Amino acid sequence: MAFDLDEQLNGSRVGFFTDTSICIGCKACEVACKEWNQVPEDGLDFTGMSYDNTVGLSADTWRHVAFVEQRTPMGRQEPGVGDMDFRWLMSSDVCKHCTQAACLDVCPTGSLFRTEYGTVVVQEDICNGCGYCVPACPFGVIGKRETTGVAAKCTMCYDRLPAGEEPACAKTCPTDSIQFGDLDELRERADRRLRQVQEAGMTSARLYGRDPDDGVGGMGAFFLLLDEPEVYGLPPDPVVTTRDLPSMWRHVGVAAAGLLAGIAATAWRRR
């Protein structure tokens, strides 16, 4: 499936590679996304659970920087401190623009569509607010706006791409943690970066969503993580939630046929 999509787009598929090892948690990407896309504010109050005040992705937060505070062994004993230390893991999360996007499968109006760049975009003026796409997303990315009732998520700044402009979040990132470009080239760059990070001693580092053979056929937005995906709030083995949709419809058809047959038989007996 991943190969088919890349071939169909003739090498024009673009995406994000987010290197969490150099994310500083500045949230400039969140601000740039909201400003360019005119996304409403979504939580400016202190939550009491974290230094992060936006909590997660939603219809009103299309980029979200997670602050993960993690206990780590120091390898030595410090007076009054013990042998444990803390480290921050920062990661800017976003819609994955999946190769096999379940949200596309369930949208009844065509509001969700695949662009010529391989990204997945919501046309809010066509959305009927059914909400089928919300539980279909294995990453919990897409949501419905309380004010309008329609679905909304990252568009990868679809309106900037025809002009040759990169998405606002990538352009704003001060460390190049968020990188945008040709997806194949980004995968090669990520492979090199992973080797570099692991050789530097971060042996638990791994790429998440880079492999076209994974459960969603590869992601248009993938990550270099320094720990397990669960640490960052990501599912370890994401799957296409609509993978059984054809068989489900077959079962529905059989059940419907049986129901109609029963109704017809009952009506015949009453004649």
- Residue with the larger pLDDT of the pair 179 and 258: 179
- Residue with the larger pLDDT of the pair 201 and 48: 201
Average pLDDT over residues 108-131: 96
| pLDDT band, very low/low/confident/very high, at 252 (cuts 50, 70, 90) | very low
- Residue with the larger pLDDT of the pair 156 and 45: 156
Would you state the pLDDT for residue 247? 47
Least confident range from 11-15, 68-72, 141-145, 206-210: namely 68-72
- Residue with the larger pLDDT of the pair 150 and 265: 150
Average pLDDT over residues 104-133: 96
Average pLDDT over residues 71-79: 68
| pLDDT band, very low/low/confident/very high, at 70 (cuts 50, 70, 90) | confident
Average pLDDT over residues 129-151: 96
Least confident range from 107-121, 170-184, 185-199, 235-249: namely 235-249
Average pLDDT over residues 44-60: 80
Would you state the pLDDT for residue 45? 73
pLDDT at 71 over 90: no
Residues in the annotated binding site: 23, 26, 29, 33, 95, 98, 103, 107, 127, 130, 133, 137, 154, 157, 169, 173
Average pLDDT over residues 106-124: 97
In angstroms, the CA 226 to CA 23 distance is: 11
- Residue with the larger pLDDT of the pair 203 and 54: 203
pLDDT at 268 over 60: yes
Residue closest to 140 by CA, chosen among 203, 87, 198, 64: 64
Residues in the annotated binding site for [4Fe-4S] cluster: 23, 26, 29, 33, 95, 98, 103, 107, 127, 130, 133, 137, 154, 157, 169, 173
Please name the residue that has the structure tokens 């787009």. Answer: 9
How confident is the model over 154-193, as pLDDT tens digits?
999 999 999 999 999 999 999 999 999 999 999 999 999 9
